[in-house]
Structure 1
Amino acid sequence: MSSAQNVSARSSLPPLTAGPHSKRLGLISIVACFGGLLFGYDTGVANGAEGPMAAELGLNLLQVGVVISSLVFAAAIGALVCGRISDAWGRRKVILVLAGLFLCGTLLVILSPASGEYGTFSPLGFAVLVSGRIMLGLAVGGASTVVPVYLAELAPYEIRGSITGRNELAIVIGQLSAFIVNAVLAVTLGHLDGVWRLMFAVCALPAIALFFGMLRMPESPRWLVEKGRYAQALRVLKTVRSPERALAEVHEVEIIAQREKSENKKVGWKAILENKWLRRIILIGIGVGMAQQLTGINSIMYYGTRVLEESGMSAEQAVLANIAFGAVAVIGGVIALRNMDRLDRRTTFLIGLSLTTVCHLLVAFAGILLPVGSVARPIVIMILVVAFVLSMQTFLNIAVWVWLAEVFPQHMRGLGIGISVFFVWITNGFLALYFPTLISGVGITGSFFLFAGVGVLALIFVATQVPETRGRSLEDLEEDVTTGAIYQLKSSAGS
Structure 2
Amino acid sequence: MSSTTAEPAHKLPPLTPGPHSRRLGQVAIIATLGGLLFGYDTGVINGALLPMTEELGLTPFTEGAVTSSLLFGAAAGAILGGRISDAIGRRPTIIGLSVLFFIGAVLCAITPGLTILLIGRIMLGLGVGGASTVVPVFLAELAPYEIRGALAGRNEFMIVTGQLAAFVVNAILGNTLGHLDHVWRIMLAVAAIPAMALFIGMLRVPESPRWLLSKGRHDEALAILATLRSKERADAEHAEIASTLRYEESAAAKLTPSAALKQGWFVKILLIGIAVAVFQQLTGINSVMYYGQILLTESGFGRQAALIGNIAPGIIAVVGAVIALWMMDKVNRRITIITGYTLVAISHILIAIFSNVIAPENPIRPFVMLTLIVIFVGSMQTFLNVATWVWLSEIFPLKVRAFGMGFSVLCMWLSNAALSFAFPSLLAGLGLTGLFIGFAAVNLVAVVVMTKFLPDTHGRTLEQVEEAVIDGTIYPGKGAVAASAQS
TM-score after normalising by structure 2: 0.97
Report the equivalent of 1:306: 294
Q: Determine the C-alpha separation between the residues in 2 that align with 1:310 and 1:54.
A: 18
Report the equivalent of 1:461: 449
Report the equivalent of 1:288: 276
Matches of residues 2-17 of structure 1 in structure 2 within 5 Å?
5-7=5-7, 10-17=9-16
Judge conservation of contact 2:473–2:481 (CA < 8 Å) in 1: no
Report the equivalent of 1:44: 43
Indicate whether 1:157 and 2:145 are aligned. yes
Report the equivalent of 1:473: 461
Report the equivalent of 2:97: 98
Give how far 1:35 is off.
Answer: 0.1
Match of 2:9, SS state, is helix
Q: Determine the C-alpha separation between the residues in 2 that align with 1:263 and 1:61.
A: 53
Judge conservation of contact 1:268–1:415 (CA < 8 Å) in 2: no
Judge conservation of contact 2:248–2:255 (CA < 8 Å) in 1: no
Judge conservation of contact 1:6–1:493 (CA < 8 Å) in 2: no
Report the equivalent of 1:251: 239
1:130 paired residue among 118, 140, 158: 118
Matches of residues 25-424 of structure 1 in structure 2 within 5 Å?
25-113=24-112, 125-261=113-249, 265-424=253-412
Give how far 1:3 is off.
Answer: 9.5
- Report the residue type matching 1:71 in the other structure: L
| Change over 3 Å in CA distance of 1:138–1:350 after alignment to 2 | same
Give how far 1:493 is off.
Answer: 4.6
Give how far 1:255 is off.
Answer: 1.4
- Report the residue type matching 1:278 in the other structure: F
Q: Determine the C-alpha separation between the residues in 2 that align with 1:25 and 1:494.
A: 29
Give how far 1:494 is off.
Answer: 3.5
Judge conservation of contact 2:332–2:485 (CA < 8 Å) in 1: no
Judge conservation of contact 1:275–1:482 (CA < 8 Å) in 2: no
Give how far 1:367 is off.
Answer: 1.0
Deviation by residue 1:254-306 (Cα, 9 ceiling, x = unmatched)? 11223444677132223322210100000000000111100000000000111
Deviation by residue 1:40-82 (Cα, 9 ceiling, x = unmatched)? 0000000010000010000011101000000001100000011
Q: Determine the C-alpha separation between the residues in 2 that align with 1:179 and 1:397.
A: 19
Q: Determine the C-alpha separation between the residues in 1 that align with 2:253 and 2:181.
A: 59
Q: Determine the C-alpha separation between the residues in 2 that align with 1:263 and 1:364.
A: 50
Give how far 1:379 is off.
Answer: 0.9
Give how far 1:376 is off.
Answer: 1.5
| Change over 3 Å in CA distance of 1:271–1:479 after alignment to 2 | farther
Deviation by residue 1:209-263 (Cα, 9 ceiling, x = unmatched)? 0000000000000000000001100111111100000000001111122344467
- Report the residue type matching 2:292 in the other structure: G
Judge conservation of contact 1:83–1:418 (CA < 8 Å) in 2: yes
- Report the residue type matching 1:389 in the other structure: V
- Report the residue type matching 1:232 in the other structure: E
Q: Note the residue ranges of structure 1 that are not aligned, 5 or more in a row.
A: 114-124
- Report the residue type matching 2:50 in the other structure: G
Match of 1:333, SS state, is helix
Q: Determine the C-alpha separation between the residues in 2 that align with 1:295 and 1:432.
A: 12
Q: Determine the C-alpha separation between the residues in 2 that align with 1:256 and 1:469.
A: 16
Deviation by residue 1:345-385 (Cα, 9 ceiling, x = unmatched)? 01000111111110000000001110111011111111001
Q: Determine the C-alpha separation between the residues in 1 that align with 2:436 and 2:250.
A: 53
| Change over 3 Å in CA distance of 1:380–1:90 after alignment to 2 | same
- Report the residue type matching 2:141 in the other structure: E
Match of 1:160, SS state, is helix
Q: Determine the C-alpha separation between the residues in 2 that align with 1:268 and 1:77.
A: 20
Q: Determine the C-alpha separation between the residues in 2 that align with 1:273 and 1:264.
A: 11
> Which range is displaced more, 250-259 or 65-74?
250-259
Q: Determine the C-alpha separation between the residues in 1 that align with 2:228 and 2:414.
A: 36
TM-score after normalising by structure 1: 0.96
Q: Determine the C-alpha separation between the residues in 2 that align with 1:289 and 1:111.
A: 34
Aligned Cα RMSD in Å?
A: 1.3
Report the equivalent of 1:440: 428
Q: Determine the C-alpha separation between the residues in 1 that align with 2:40 and 2:366.
A: 26
- Report the residue type matching 2:5 in the other structure: Q
Report the equivalent of 1:120: none
Report the equivalent of 1:122: none
Q: Determine the C-alpha separation between the residues in 2 that align with 1:165 and 1:259.
A: 28
Q: Determine the C-alpha separation between the residues in 1 that align with 2:3 and 2:96.
A: 42
Match of 1:27, SS state, is helix
Q: Which runs of 4+ in 1 moved over 6 A?
A: 1-4
Deviation by residue 1:98-133 (Cα, 9 ceiling, x = unmatched)? 0000001011101111xxxxxxxxxxx100000000
Match of 1:485, SS state, is coil
| Change over 3 Å in CA distance of 1:453–1:237 after alignment to 2 | same
Deviation by residue 1:367-411 (Cα, 9 ceiling, x = unmatched)? 111011101111111100100000000000000000000000001
Match of 2:456, SS state, is coil
Q: Determine the C-alpha separation between the residues in 1 that align with 2:355 and 2:247.
A: 59
Match of 1:190, SS state, is coil
Q: Determine the C-alpha separation between the residues in 2 that align with 1:157 and 1:456.
A: 32
- Report the residue type matching 1:68 in the other structure: T
Report the equivalent of 2:17: 18
Match of 1:10, SS state, is coil
| Change over 3 Å in CA distance of 1:262–1:372 after alignment to 2 | closer
